[in-house]
Structure 1
Amino acid sequence: MKKAAFLFILTSCAFSLLAQKKNKENKNGPVIVVGKVLNQRDSIQVKDLFFEGLHEKIVMNYVDAALNFEKVLEVDPSNDAAMYELANLKFDQNNTTEAESLIRNAVTVNPENEWYWLLLADIYKKTNKIAQLVPVLEELSKIAPKKEAYFYDKANAFLILRKVDDAASAYDEIEKKFGSSDELISARQRILMQQGKSGKLEEELTGLIASKPDEIRNYIYLSEVLTQSGNREKAIEILIKAKSVSSSNAMVRLALADHYRALKQYENTFIELKVAFADPNLDIDEKVRIVLSFFPMFTEMKARAYANELASIMVRVHPNEAKAFAVQGDVLFQERKYEQAQESYKKALAINDQVYLIWEQLLRIEVSRGEFQQAILDGNKALGIFPNQAALYLYTGIGYAQTRNYEKAASILKSALDLESEDNDVLLQIYSTLGDSYNALKKFKESDQAYTKALELDPSNSYVLNNYAYYLSLRGENLEEAEKMSKRSLEIDPDNASSEDTYAWILFRLKKYADAKKWIEKSLQGKTSNNATQQEHYGDILYLLGEKEKALEQWQSAKAQGSDSDKLEKKINEKKYID
């Protein structure tokens, strides 16, 4: 084993070694490895198992792939290639402990393999074992001395460990091997900041600006140094100078916007952001992040206006980016401009229909706006792409229920339940809509079960309490329980005309006619809530209280409002209440 590898083993708490050893020849002479001497039969078996493992990996049968590599190691415990493949599989499954053990054994067997050390480095990065990462990067820089990235990674690891002097030495090594670069200059500047030498760094950056006045990033970095030193005013001055050199530079504009926002100069912030957003080269994700940062301030009209205009610039500059239209839709949705939000979401989906949340938001709007046929069409499209999302089944089911296709509604809502969603709000609406649909289908047992499930999820849901109580009263079943639920719905949501009508009707069915009259009249006080059903109920109550002429007037009024009930027609013709 080479000395470098041996030193790394000592610093890494020693790799586990298998019991037996054999000699393996390579171009540099004999190397001590672990394992056993394989006979011809074992060699053939190992080869077959290994290639079968690779095949299973290619076709993404990862469990079978792992089993094959494990079988290789049973026959040939020192097979470093199988260790590497198995370690990769474990790493992909987030089993970093086993992955680390396997790949450490692999680099012990074959310390010259760059890919083995790279996997070990990835494991240490993921598990944040930075101290162990450093010697791995040293090995990589020895195996591949022309790869600059390994040297930078080592220097950065020293910085994370706050070993500033070691990092500085690592950067010196990079300059000797690869020469100076802008990246190296920036790295050394970070070291000066960590060492608290901001004055020296300010002097160095000022000199760079004087010698290279067109190099904008030096202005930006100097402004950051000044800001960290508590000199925000001077930082803004430097950025204004940068703006005079490159007026359209998005990074300068964003840096200025950050300063103005910190000073609560929101008009200036917005001016800078508008220029930055007009730059098509500024990353769209950064623009999205900025627009979303306005959302917590949407109680203020100016914040909404700023977000709206920035989103409009974004869709103009990035007409082929679904993200731009999706965020514009979110802004409009927050402003309750639902029709415009709907259009933005549709444009986003026309560009990229693979974003689930846009579909959900679109369906939510269509259902809330009463566009149930459109919700059915879009819901079925969305389900073709995302068949495992309960919310999509819910909104599509609501569309079917509201268009009176109750069989289809029940079927699709049952499919949603099969997904076993953990979102209680979605489940509540599924059971509630199922209750309504089953009742319409006269499947009363299933309807009651669905409402019961909904109330188990939320015992204080006034909508479910009202509907369940009303349908029980229509059937004349469990009227005492129905009265309790109806009364509870009114306590939760007082002055709801529909709930007041339900309570009045239940009291009527309980023959409490005087109380029923009081509640139906309260329901009818809200003119916008008056409807044919309430008018008909009022007529029924008046008739049984002996006010027959007034009852007839209410029945006729119900008919005039569009009721086509056969029973209502009969009441009017025969001038009497019909149960």
Structure 2
Amino acid sequence: MKYNRYTSSIIVLLLLFPCKLFSQEVGLILDEATRRKFDYYFYEAVNAKTQGKYAESFDLLQHCYSIDSTNASVLVELGAYYSSLEEKKRALDFFRKAVKYDPANYYYNMILGGVCKELDLKEEVIEIYTHLLKSYPEKVELYFDLANAYGDNGDLEKAIQSLDSLQKYTGVSDGITFNKFRLYNMMDQKEKAFDEIRSVIEKNPDNIRYKLIMGDLYLQDNQPERALEYYIQASHIDPDEPSLILSMVNYYEKINNKSAAVEELQKAITSSKMEVDTKLQLLARYINILRQNQQDIVAANPLFQKLFEQHPNNTRINMMYGDLLLLQGNKEEAMKQFEIYTRENPADPAGYEQMLRIVLPDTLALDKVVEITLAGIENIPTAPQFYFYLGLAKFQQKRYKEALAAYEQGLESAEFQSPMLESDFYGQIGDIHHFLKNNEAAYENYEKALKLNPQNLPVLNNYSYYLSLERKNLDKAEQMSGITIKAEPTNPTYLDTYGWILFEQGAYTMAKIYIEKAIEYGKDELSAEVFEHYGDVLAVTGDIDKAVEQWKRAREMGSDSRTLNEKIRKKEYIRK
């Protein structure tokens, strides 16, 4: 049994009968012997719970309840247990009884208040917090809780009155002011809402923060002229305040003055007062504006050079500059930035991943892929992506056993956040085993892959196709291949596989339909194997001349089929 005594989100249901929450009821008066007996069992129950023996604790508490059904501590403990057992009505009954026998207990009332709020028992929530405030007027959070309860119940005036009471008790604070601002806005009393902020400004005339808040609130309310008034007042206090520059950027974007927004961004980025994190956020916005306006993003490069001068040891600038250079197509310079970042942050996978992003499309850069992934594995041995790409590079280098070792090492050492990625590893291992003519090992690994991810489409396709080549378990192959074409009905590889399985099953007419679909959707991206399949289907369905055309096309594309030349010479389908 799982039990969490201190959860604040216990879900309970309202009983059908009315319940006076706060009238004190007198509990049982136990004689001394019975009290000692009760205390013993309650102590044992608490001790059992501390040791994680929840079932034993629950039984002991029930025994305590049979001795004294009015003890609030027992009632709360049992309420929490019943809640964890999903017996919500009984849990609610116990919590309410606990409050009834100990109405001044802050903890018990807060549990009940939270439960009622979660169940949308609005009136009851108000009753609970009102009661608590009488006993605990010093607890500031209760005023906010009561205000929110009134707000949830649609009584916004009383919500504001609750905050006014708190303000008299504590004085003006940001929390009270902004909550009242929100409530007045909900009541569509905007001037009263803004008056709340003005009252704070009047008390703090030299505080730039409040002027900026006022301007930002006007800007959010689509009153840019009023917002600008307060931004100007703020500039008189400190024209270089970073928050002011950000507000002015927002203002110019609001009024669609893009050039002025860019000027403010440039000013902010070169400011010595602004934090580097904020500058990088602004740079991202600046680059986005350049792209939206179809301007050359090279214009952002000098700003990065300025940042390098100001913050020479901050490698996040290198990472972001590398991303920008990559957008500009300058892969060589981008690679240098990512190498700097990775050298200084060897345990962050992001640098290696960006370098791989540059080199992976280039089949001539496989040695570089190996170098990057090996460095990634050395510094982050639990990251599965580096084993994956290492195996991929080794396979493309025709170093098949090394590729297999990379994937197997990944399965042993990496931490997989998703079963789908682990499934891909087994799929790759299966493909390599098939390539090495270890078909049974290939099928074993495909089964492991599908156990982790039954919708792994590449595995389903390869597994089913290789079974069809062996003319083995064709019903299973057809079922697996069928999943792939339902998921991706225009994928030419999956369509060809399904068509070929139908061919091996003797369903030649249907096979022809699916392979023709594969050719239709594949266009210029098809392999020689698809055209040989098409020729085979045409031959057995009686169109031998067209079949020979397809076989010849497959031969021109470099097919290594053992029977292809013989098919063309004899003008007939020859089974492999």
Please, what TM-score do these two structures have when normalized by structure 1?
0.64
**Alignment partners' CA distance in 1, 2:166 and 2:20:** 34
Given that 1:497 and 1:523 are in contact with CA atoms closer than 8 Å, whether structure 2 keeps it comes out as: no
Partner of 1:180: 172
CA distance 1:226–1:459, shift in 2 (3 Å): closer
Cα distance, 1:129 vs structure 2: 3.5
Aligned pairs for 1:112-123 within 5 A:
112-123=104-115
CA distance 1:506–1:45, shift in 2 (3 Å): same
Cα distance, 1:514 vs structure 2: 1.2
Match of 1:467 among 497, 507, 516: 497
**Alignment partners' CA distance in 1, 2:206 and 2:86:** 47
Higher relative contact order (CA 8 A, sep 6+): 2
**Alignment partners' CA distance in 1, 2:465 and 2:392:** 16
Please tell me whether residue 396 in structure 1 is matched to residue 429 in structure 2.
Answer: no
**Alignment partners' CA distance in 2, 1:458 and 1:484:** 16
Amino acid at match of 1:32: V
Superposed CA deviations along residues 439-482 of structure 1, whole A, max 9, x for unmatched, are 67885455445324545656665422312434676x68655553
Superposed CA deviations along residues 79-114 of structure 1, whole A, max 9, x for unmatched, are 432432344456678876654443222211222222
Aligned pairs for 1:45-444 within 5 A:
45-56=41-52, 69=61, 72-73=64-65, 76-88=68-80, 99-194=91-186, 196-199=188-191, 202=194, 205=197, 209=201, 212-227=204-219, 230-239=222-231, 241-242=233-234, 245-246=237-238, 251-266=243-258, 275=268, 279=275, 344=350, 346=352, 376=407, 380=411, 384-386=415-417, 389-404=418-433, 410-419=443-452, 426-436=455-465, 438=467, 444=473
Given that 2:468 and 2:501 are in contact with CA atoms closer than 8 Å, whether structure 1 keeps it comes out as: yes
Given that 2:538 and 2:544 are in contact with CA atoms closer than 8 Å, whether structure 1 keeps it comes out as: yes
Superposed CA deviations along residues 495-516 of structure 1, whole A, max 9, x for unmatched, are 5432334312433466743112
**Alignment partners' CA distance in 2, 1:200 and 1:398:** 65
**Alignment partners' CA distance in 1, 2:220 and 2:482:** 60
3-state SS of 1:32 partner? coil
Partner of 2:535: 504
Given that 2:61 and 2:78 are in contact with CA atoms closer than 8 Å, whether structure 1 keeps it comes out as: yes
CA distance 1:232–1:84, shift in 2 (3 Å): same
Cα distance, 1:369 vs structure 2: 12
3-state SS of 1:384 partner? coil
3-state SS of 1:403 partner? helix
Partner of 2:558: 531
**Alignment partners' CA distance in 2, 1:481 and 1:258:** 61
CA distance 1:202–1:142, shift in 2 (3 Å): closer
CA distance 1:470–1:218, shift in 2 (3 Å): same
**Alignment partners' CA distance in 2, 1:268 and 1:95:** 62
Cα distance, 1:73 vs structure 2: 4.0
**Alignment partners' CA distance in 1, 2:315 and 2:466:** 41
Amino acid at match of 1:146: E
Partner of 2:3: none
Partner of 2:4: none
Cα distance, 1:539 vs structure 2: 3.3
Cα distance, 1:222 vs structure 2: 1.9
CA distance 1:67–1:412, shift in 2 (3 Å): farther
CA distance 1:265–1:150, shift in 2 (3 Å): same
Amino acid at match of 1:467: T
Partner of 1:15: 19
**Alignment partners' CA distance in 2, 1:94 and 1:247:** 59
Superposed CA deviations along residues 382-417 of structure 1, whole A, max 9, x for unmatched, are 86343xx33113321332244346656544443344
> How big is the alpha-carbon RMSD for the aligned residues of Structure 1 and Structure 2?
5.8
Given that 2:423 and 2:450 are in contact with CA atoms closer than 8 Å, whether structure 1 keeps it comes out as: no
**Alignment partners' CA distance in 2, 1:164 and 1:224:** 24
Cα distance, 1:484 vs structure 2: 3.7
Given that 1:513 and 1:545 are in contact with CA atoms closer than 8 Å, whether structure 2 keeps it comes out as: yes
**Alignment partners' CA distance in 1, 2:350 and 2:80:** 43
Amino acid at match of 2:275: D
Gaps of 5+ in 2: 1-15, 343-347, 355-375, 397-402
Cα distance, 1:216 vs structure 2: 3.3
Amino acid at match of 1:127: L
CA distance 1:302–1:145, shift in 2 (3 Å): farther
Given that 1:397 and 1:413 are in contact with CA atoms closer than 8 Å, whether structure 2 keeps it comes out as: yes
Superposed CA deviations along residues 175-198 of structure 1, whole A, max 9, x for unmatched, are 332233333333444455445454
Cα distance, 1:141 vs structure 2: 2.9
CA distance 1:202–1:179, shift in 2 (3 Å): closer
Amino acid at match of 1:464: Y
CA distance 1:88–1:431, shift in 2 (3 Å): farther
Gaps of 5+ in 1: 1-11, 18-29, 547-576
> Number of aligned pairs?
496
Amino acid at match of 1:376: Y
Match of 2:27 among 20, 25, 33: 33
3-state SS of 2:27 partner? strand
Given that 1:417 and 1:427 are in contact with CA atoms closer than 8 Å, whether structure 2 keeps it comes out as: yes
CA distance 1:56–1:444, shift in 2 (3 Å): same
CA distance 1:133–1:40, shift in 2 (3 Å): same
**Alignment partners' CA distance in 1, 2:255 and 2:94:** 54
Amino acid at match of 2:125: L
Match of 1:515 among 546, 550, 553: 546
Amino acid at match of 2:218: L
**Which stretch has the larger CA shift, 147-156 or 516-525?**
516-525
Given that 2:423 and 2:452 are in contact with CA atoms closer than 8 Å, whether structure 1 keeps it comes out as: no
Cα distance, 1:32 vs structure 2: 0.7
Partner of 2:362: none
% of aligned pairs identical? 15
3-state SS of 1:533 partner? coil
CA distance 1:268–1:44, shift in 2 (3 Å): same
Given that 2:433 and 2:441 are in contact with CA atoms closer than 8 Å, whether structure 1 keeps it comes out as: no
Given that 1:410 and 1:434 are in contact with CA atoms closer than 8 Å, whether structure 2 keeps it comes out as: yes
CA distance 1:390–1:307, shift in 2 (3 Å): farther
